[in-house]
Each structure stands twice: as C-alpha cells, then as structure tokens.
A and B are shown apart, each in its own frame.
Chain A
Amino acid sequence: MSDKQNHKPETGAFFQRDRDWHAPAFTPGYKTSVLRSPQKALLSLDNTISEITGPVFGHSMLGELDNDLIHNFAKPGESAIGERIIVHGRVLDERGRPVPGALLEFWQANAGGRYRHKKETYLAAIDPNFGGCGRTITDDDGYYFFRTIKPGAYPWPNGVNDWRPAHIHFSIFGHGFAQRLITQMYFEGDPMIWKCPIVNTIPDRRAIEQLIAPLDWSNTIPMDARAYKFDIVLRGRRSTFFENRPEGN
C-alpha cells in the first residue's frame, strides 16, 4: 500500500502515552463521558509488533478534490458558502521528525454551524454545496494542506447553554497503530474555546493551546483565502538501537 519503499522503515516501540496530558476518560462536565468511560485501570504494557505496525495509505487513493471542502460536494461551477480558508501544517512525531505518508481525514460543520447529518437538529441552514468531509496524505516532509470554509460555532445539548467553538475534527494515522489519534483544531482568538466543556476535558492549558491554530498571515493568499497553521504531533518511536533482540532474530 505504501508509495515510498525507499524509506528505511522504523521499527522501534512508541514512547509511552502521557495520560496526564490527555483528557481522562471520566469528565462529568462533558456529560456523555459519564456512562462511556472505563472505570477500571488500563492494562499498561510496552508495544508489541501489533501496535508498532500499522496500515499505510498511498497517495493514489486520493481524488483531486479530496482536500478541497469548498468544492468536493458542490455542484459544478458552485462553491460552499463561508469564509475561505486554507489549513496547513506538518505532522511530526515527539522527536520532531516529520511523519510522511500520514493519512489525515477531517470533518466539520458548515459556515452556519450545521452538520450534514440526520441526527443534527440545529436550526441553522444546510448549505447544499457543502458536505463537510475531506482527506489528504502528508508528503515526504510531513506537510499537508486543505481548503475549506471556516466552520461556525453551534449549540449542543450538554448544559442548558453550551456552545462548541468553531472547530475542525482531525483523524490521523501515523506509521504504527499505537499512534492512531483523533483530535479537534480550534481557531486563534476565539473566546468560546475556554468556555467549552469538551475543550476543558483536557487538564493542561498547554495541551489546549497546542490545539489552537494561529492565523498564518504569511501564507494567506491575497484576494482568495486566509491561512491557518496547524501542526500535529504523534507519539515518537524509541530508537531501535536500544532494543534487546531475542536470539536468532
């Protein structure tokens, strides 16, 4: 499945996950987590080959408009309504090394804060030209970009008056299944970030700040689209030089 057979594959185990940095499972301010959070301790152990390996996706699977949410659901000649933006950045690991060939999938509400989903009941209008999903694969430097419209904020049933700040959901595959990650990107300057019960499941303010994409004025395209830069960090691998090798392997 890989496009890049010329890279020497890395086979080390991944750095252990910092469970104090991530949200805990049980976060009563986010009510749905109450009945969906494991209550017993996780079984902690070092990676085996089942986690060190992972699926790889080739660039050939991508369609021309997969990374253009403004057009990938729009009728010919039309485009999605909203503020045109480019989201771009790099996928790195904890050692700061680029992660090439990483599949990124993203989904979001439309400019009015409405998702195209049958369970969505918010009264904001559907945009007939906006589907809300896209995907891309990082290049050899771990770089990615996509075009979209800036999603709107929206209310959700949690507290009586809870609203989600504007955000884009990201799903990321690294090179090992242990790196599998889903997260959300927020926008610089949005005062609603700090009021959100889902954002506030994360205990460490620095971890939240790492989810906020700054406006990237240098990469903004005049008369077309503003740019936001969002780098993503996946678990790093230990050097394989440190591994004990079983006899005969």
Chain B
Amino acid sequence: MVQKLGYLKETASQTAGPYVHIGLTPNFCGIPGVYKSDLGASMVNDKTLGQRITVKGRVIDGAGMPLKDALVEIWQADASGLYNSPAEMRGTADPNFAGWGRCPTSAEDGVFTFETVKPGRVLFKDGRLMAPHITFWIVARGINIGLHTRMYFPDEAAANAEDPLLARIEHRHRAETLVAAGTTPNYTFDIHLQGEKETVFLDI
C-alpha cells in the first residue's frame, strides 16, 4: 500500500439544456425584474481603451443548421494584452474592460454578437508571444460538456504564423477553422460542431 493522493474528482458536467437562458440571461428570455441586466451583456464603456470591434457568428450543427438555443461566452485580454483577473501578475488591466462577455444565440437566426475591443498579444509559457485571440466557450442542449475554442484574427497573418497553439494543429487546413472572417472592425466567426469544417475544439 502507498499513501492516498487524496484528490477530489471534478464534478461531472451536464448539458446546459434548452432553458439555459432562464438561468444565465433571464432578461433576454422574458424573466425581467430578478436582475437589473443580464450579466456579460455589455463589455465596453466609453472609457474602454483600444480598437472597438464587433464579432458575430453562429454555432452550426452537423446538419448545417444554426443553434438557436445556444449560449456563448468569451474571455480575452484587454487592448494591451493584460487579463482583468487576480491571476494576471504582469500588470493591471484596463479597469474599464472586464474581458468577459456572454451572449445567447438569437432565436430568429442563431447569431451571437459581441461588441468588444481587439485584444493585445499575451505570452505563451515559454516566453513566445501568442497571436491576438479570444477564448470561446459554448454550451447548449445536446452539448454534454462546454466546448472551448479560440478565435484568431484574419488580419494578423504574421502573428498567427508564429502562434504556438495554431502550430500544434497537425492538419494545417483545420487551423483555418480558428481564424475569423472579415476585417477591422467587423469580424465573423462561425463555429461548426461537426463535418468537413468542424472547428478545432480544445482540451485545455
């Protein structure tokens, strides 16, 4: 016998289900008055530093249909490449930018929209710079555990070419699934759950 490590097991994930909006965006789904506003609905104010951008997209299932009951969250650095988080030890992020947003996909066309700023570059752990990117987390009915992925920028070809995460993708054409379409300040990032264009999702 040896000593026991004594670690606990992570609580198992379960699907967010069809009514995730009741819990996470109640004003959006017709339950007003419990909270003043839906958390994460607004990411920038008039003092936020940096280039304003709009990111729109859809989450598309294996039959090519956009999900109209999904919820998308994003997490990103501020314009100078700092995260607004206690674990950020390199400096103090822009106090007018939380870096986190939440948006349901529209019940009409399945589109999500984030008004945010373009993130700066942040370091990979070996000291190399990562290309500017936004972390995406997608939950919905039928998704048993939240899906992590990243959006990179189409007008950052040089930075993308040296990004350590993109470099890890063995099938090079699949790296394209993480690069948005469009140009400053309007980007489109469609997330494909299955099929030829399946987005690279991260176990991270």
A interface residues (Cβ-Cβ under 8 A, vs B): 1-2, 5, 7, 9-11, 15-19, 21-25, 27, 30, 32-40, 42-57, 61, 63, 65-66, 72-73, 92-96, 105-107, 115-120, 131-135, 169, 171, 175-178, 180-184, 198-199, 201-202, 204, 206-208, 210-211, 232-236, 243-244, 246-249
Per-residue 0/1 for B142-171: is the Cβ within 8 Å of any A Cβ (1 yes, 0 no)?
111111101000000000000001001100
> Can you name 25 A-B residue pairings with CB atoms under 8 Å?
A7-B86, A22-B145, A23-B145, A35-B62, A36-B62, A36-B67, A37-B193, A43-B168, A43-B204, A44-B203, A46-B125, A48-B130, A49-B88, A54-B85, A63-B36, A66-B34, A95-B7, A107-B19, A117-B30, A171-B23, A177-B135, A181-B146, A182-B16, A183-B13, A210-B11
Query: Do the beta carbons of A55 and B98 come within 8 Å of each other?
Result: yes
- What is the bound-complex CA distance between A117 and B9, given in angstroms? 34
Q: Which 10 pairs, one residue from A and one from B, show the smallest C-beta to C-beta distance?
A: A107-B23, A32-B142, A246-B127, A53-B85, A36-B142, A55-B100, A42-B203, A23-B144, A9-B86, A53-B83
Q: A40-B198, A233-B9 are in contact. Are A133 and B23 (CB under 8 A)?
A: yes
When the two chains form their complex, are residues B10 and A233 in contact, meaning their CB atoms are under 8 A apart? yes
B22 touches A132 (CB 8 A): yes
**Shortest beta-carbon distance from B69 to chain A in Å:** 7
Q: Are B69 and A106 in contact (CB under 8 A)?
A: no
Number of interface residues of B (CB under 8 A): 81
Is A94 in contact with B7, judged by CB distance below 8 angstroms? yes
Secondary structure of the A side of the interface?
loop
A176 surroundings in chain B (CB, below 8 A): 85, 87
B181–chain A nearest beta-carbon distance, Å = 21
Which B residues are in CB contact (< 8 Å) with A249?
A: 123, 127
Task: Return chain A residues, CB-CB under 8 Å to B6.
Answer: 96
Instruction: State how many angstroms separate the Cβ of A199 from the closest Cβ of chain B.
Output: 8
Give the residue of A50, A171, A204 whose beta carbon is less than 8 angstroms from that of B24: A171
| B33 proximal to A (CB < 8 A) | yes
Which residues of B from 7 to 35 have beta carbons under 8 Å from A? 7-24, 26, 29-31, 33-35
Given contacts A56-B85, A182-B146, 7 further A-B contacts (CB under 8 A): A36-B141, A50-B77, A117-B30, A180-B146, A182-B15, A182-B139, A234-B11
Check A10–B10 contact: CB distance below 8 A: no
- Picked from A19, A135, A201, the residue with its CB within 8 Å of the CB of B203 is A19
